[in-house]
Amino acid sequence: MKEADEVRTLRAKLDLKGAHLTKQRAAVFAYLSAVDHHPTAEEVFLAVKRDVPKISLATVYKNLEALVACHAATKLNYGDAAARYDIRTSPHYHTRCLKCGRISDLDPVPENELTQLIKPPEGFAALDYRIEIAGYCKNCSDQKEE
């Protein structure tokens, strides 16, 4: 999908919630689309500030939540203190490095095999499987702490 299409899709998703597409919101979305990992709000803030110097951290938070609300992004609360945001909204899973904190994508897992192996108890209405493998990423594997 070329960039113009992505923006059109985003605008449509926002429209459904009566939300506007501002310069700040577009910049947050663009950064989330550009990076290959899943940054914290702080990281997004620092990066986006290069394009929109006057943007505030509160605005970044509000925009990240707006993207989540219109299903243009996903919030990842697994793991450490600061939440992370992910531009992908289709089901997929993550690795998390215990040393550097980086969250990356896992190779796809067949949906049906997964739900067959892992079943919720009677009466629990499952909406979302969340899977994370914690460990040491390639870069950190060498210098890992005790």
Partner DNA sequence: ATTCTTGCAAAAGATTTGCAAACAA
Partner DNA sequence: TTGTTTGCAAATCTTTTGCAAGAAT
* Minimum CB–partner distance for residue 111 and DNA (Å): 28
Q: 48 and 28 in contact (C-beta within 8 Å)?
A: yes
- Residue list 2-61, contact with a second copy (CB under 8 A): none
* Minimum CB–partner distance for residue 105 and a second copy (Å): 9
Q: Which is nearer to a second copy, 31 or 85 (CB)?
A: 85
Binding to a second copy by residue 119, rule CB under 8 A?
A: yes
Alpha-carbon span 55 to 145, nearest angstrom: 37
User: Phi-psi bin for 101: left (phi > 0), alpha (psi -120 to 50), beta?
Assistant: left
Q: 47 and 66 in contact (C-beta within 8 Å)?
A: no
Q: How many residues bind a second copy (CB under 8 A)?
A: 38
Binding to a second copy by residue 110, rule CB under 8 A?
A: yes
Q: What angle do CA 27, 42, 144 make, to 5 degrees?
A: 125
Q: 96 and 134 in contact (C-beta within 8 Å)?
A: yes
- Residue from the set 53, 77, 145, 146 that interacts with a second copy by CB under 8 A: 77
Q: Which is nearer to a second copy, 30 or 137 (CB)?
A: 137
Q: Which span (51-59, 108-116, 123-131, 137-145) binds DNA, by CB under 7 A?
A: 51-59
Alpha-carbon span 62 to 48, nearest angstrom: 14
Q: 72 and 14 in contact (C-beta within 8 Å)?
A: yes
Q: Which span (22-30, 37-45, 62-70, 98-106) binds a second copy, by CB under 8 A?
A: 98-106
* Contact residues: a second copy, CB under 8 A: 77-80, 93, 95, 98, 104, 106-107, 109-110, 113-114, 117-138, 141, 144
